[in-house]
Amino acid sequence: MLPSPMSTVPSIPFRNAAWLYNGKMRKAKTTIYLDEDVLRSARVFAARKDMKDSEVVEQALRRYLGLELLEQIWSQGPGLDPDEALALATKEVRAQRRGA
């Protein structure tokens, strides 16, 4: 099992985090190496969901890194400042990974 990346997340500039998951950010081309079985499974999943392979990888990374939870918290309104939202998202990601 991979170590939790949440200990390194605060180094990302979250204060203006609307760019994290608004669908308008620029895309960067990259090359990654995956286990063949993982890649095959991702491609099958993408085909079944009518998605691009890159969308499956990006969605999985967003979930693993907690960016999806952070955006959900932000979408609930201006009740939390960015630091509070990040703390809550981190707590939720850790709870989800523990199976709580």
The pTM of this model reads 0.52
Domain ranges of the chain: 20-98
CA distance 86 to 48: 33
CA distance 35 to 64: 18
Average pLDDT over residues 59-70: 81
CA distance 7 to 64: 13
- State pLDDT tens for residues 15-62: 444 444 445 567 889 999 999 999 999 999 999 999 999 999 999 988
Calculate the alpha carbon distances from 83 to 16, 24, 97 in Å. Answer: 10, 23, 21
What are the phi and psi torsion angles at 47 (to 5°)? Answer: -65, -40
